[in-house]
């Protein structure tokens, strides 16, 4: 009986100290490292896809995680304490990058080159 009680206490104490990604206090205290991501200036091209976080550059949005269910995948971004959910085919950020592909370890974006709406450039963000 004592062993069962000790195992129960140990399990509870370990789970209490684990980090919860949905805890607001931990998210606010987290400082994100500068990834050194240099992005081109904002494009003036017209988009037909919906766009999220139009007022923020992509470099200021931090990837929190990816959820995959079936063939669909969602990317979660942290925008100053707000969580944004985006899917493949949506545009994000001030630059209007198109989310092209989502995998477990990276997200591929496609954007227009500055002043050239016919030519595109690809960026892959890993996490």
Whether 28 is covered by a domain: the verdict is no
Task: Give which of 4, 97, 5 is closest to 57, Cα–Cα.
Answer: 97
Task: Give which of 54, 67, 37, 35 is closest to 97, Cα–Cα.
Answer: 54
Whether 113 is covered by a domain: the verdict is yes
Whether 16 is covered by a domain: the verdict is no
Q: Which two tokens mark 42?
A: 């904002």
Structural domain boundaries, residue 106: 39-126
- Domain tally for the chain? 1
User: Could you list the pLDDT tens digit for every one of the 127 residues in the chain?
Assistant: 888 877 877 776 665 555 666 666 665 655 555 555 555 555 567 777 778 888 888 888 888 889 988 888 999 998 888 899 999 999 998 888 899 999 888 899 998 777 777 788 888 888 7
Torsion of CA 19, 74, 80, 37, to 10 degrees: 100
Stated as kind and residue range, the H or E segment containing 24 is: helix 24-29
Whether 83 is covered by a domain: the verdict is yes
């Amino acid at each position: 009986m004592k062993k069962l009680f000790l195992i129960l206490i140990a399990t509870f104490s370990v789970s209490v100290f684990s980090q919860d990604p949905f805890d607001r206090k931990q998210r606010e205290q987290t400082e994100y490292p500068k990834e050194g991501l240099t992005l081109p200036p904002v494009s003036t091209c017209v988009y037909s896809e919906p766009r999220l976080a139009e007022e923020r550059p992509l470099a200021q949005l931090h990837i929190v995680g990816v959820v995959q269910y079936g063939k669909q995948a969602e990317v979660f971004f942290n925008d100053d304490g707000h969580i944004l959910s985006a899917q493949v085919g949506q545009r994000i950020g001030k630059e209007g990058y198109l989310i092209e592909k989502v995998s477990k370890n990276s997200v591929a974006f496609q954007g227009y080159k500055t002043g050239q709406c016919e030519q595109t450039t690809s960026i892959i963000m890993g996490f």
